[in-house]
Amino acid sequence: MAEVLVRELSTQVGKQATVRGWLHKRRDLGGVCFVVVRDRSGLVQAVVRSEQEVGKLDGLQNGTVLRVTGRVVDEPRAVGGVELHEPSLEIITPVTEVMPVEIDKPIDHRSENFDTLFEYRALSLRNVDEQRVFKVRAALLRYIREFLTEHEFVEIQTPKLVAGAAEGGAEVFKLDYFGQEATLAQSPQLYKQMMVGVFERVFEIAPAFRAEPSVTTRHMSEVMMLDVEMGFITGHEDVLEMIQDMTKAVLTRVYKERAQDLEKLGAPQLVLAETYPRYTMAQIHELYQKATGKDMSGEVDLTPDEERWICDYAREHDGCEAVFATGLPKSKMKFYHMAAEDGKTALSADLLFRGVEIATCPQREHRYDKLLEQMKAAGIDPEAPGFRYFLQAMMFGLPPHGGCGFGIDRLVEKVCGLGNVKEATLFPRDTKRLTP
Pick from 13, 18, 20, 238: which binds its own copies (CB under 8 A)?
20
Q: Which is nearer to its own copies, 292 or 392 (CB)?
A: 392
Pick from 27, 40, 105, 256: which binds its own copies (CB under 8 A)?
40
Window 281 to 340, contacts with its own copies (CB under 8 A): none
Pick from 74, 152, 237, 263: which binds its own copies (CB under 8 A)?
152
214 binds its own copies (CB under 8 A): no
Please name the helix (run of DSSP H) or strand (run of DSSP E) that holds residue 113, with its range, or none: none
Order of strands, sheet of 222-231, starting from the edge strand that comes earlier in the sequence: 154-155, 201-209, 222-231, 401-407, 356-360, 349-353, 322-326, 278-280
Pick from 132, 315, 337, 366: which binds its own copies (CB under 8 A)?
366
Count Cβ neighbours within 10 Å for each residue of 79-104 and write b for 16 or more, e otherwise.
ebebbbeebbbeeeeebeeeeeeebe
394-423 footprint of its own copies as x/- string (CB under 8 A): -xxxxxx-----------------------
Phi/psi of residue 260, nearest 5 degrees: -65, -45
Q: Which is nearer to its own copies, 109 or 433 (CB)?
A: 433
Pick from 68, 194, 302, 356: which binds its own copies (CB under 8 A)?
194
Q: Which is nearer to its own copies, 32 or 198 (CB)?
A: 198
Phi-psi region of 351 (alpha: psi -120 to 50; beta: other; left: phi over 0): beta
- Please name which of 379, 283, 291, 374 lies closest in space to residue 323, comparing C-alpha atoms: 283
Give the CA distances from residue 294 to residues 285, 297, 354, in Å, rounded to whole numbers and listed in that order: 9, 9, 21
253 binds its own copies (CB under 8 A): no
Ranges of beta strands (E only) in 115-241 are 154-155, 161-162, 174-177, 180-184, 201-209, 222-231
Window 163 to 182, contacts with its own copies (CB under 8 A): 163, 173-178, 180, 182
Pick from 126, 219, 337, 422: which binds its own copies (CB under 8 A)?
126
Give the CA distances from residue 315 to residues 273, 274, 301, 435, in Å, rounded to whole numbers and listed in that order: 9, 13, 21, 38
32 binds its own copies (CB under 8 A): no
- Please name which of 420, 394, 363 lies closest in space to residue 113, comparing C-alpha atoms: 420
Pick from 42, 80, 197, 329: which binds its own copies (CB under 8 A)?
197
Q: Which is nearer to its own copies, 288 or 336 (CB)?
A: 336
How many residues bind its own copies (CB under 8 A)? The answer is 91
Where does this chain touch its own copies (CB under 8 A) — which range of 18-26, 249-257, 259-267, 348-356? 18-26
Pick from 133, 393, 411, 416: which binds its own copies (CB under 8 A)?
393
For 275, which DSSP code?
Answer: S
Instruction: Map residue 413 onto helix, strand or coil.
Output: helix
Where does this chain touch its own copies (CB under 8 A) — which range of 105-113, 137-145, 254-262, 343-351? 137-145
Q: How many CB atoms lie within 10 A of CB 238?
A: 16
Tell me the β-bridge partners of 339: 346
125 binds its own copies (CB under 8 A): yes
Q: How many CB atoms lie within 10 A of CB 402?
A: 28
Where does this chain touch its own copies (CB under 8 A) — which range of 26-34, 153-161, 297-305, 333-341? 153-161
Instruction: Map residue 336 onto helix, strand or coil.
Output: coil
Q: Which is nearer to its own copies, 162 or 284 (CB)?
A: 162
Pick from 25, 56, 71, 145: which binds its own copies (CB under 8 A)?
145
Where does this chain touch its own copies (CB under 8 A) — which range of 90-98, 106-114, 294-302, 415-423? 90-98
372 binds its own copies (CB under 8 A): no
- Minimal distance in Å, beta carbon 420 to its own copies? 17
Length of the chain: 436
Phi-psi region of 43 (alpha: psi -120 to 50; beta: other; left: phi over 0): beta
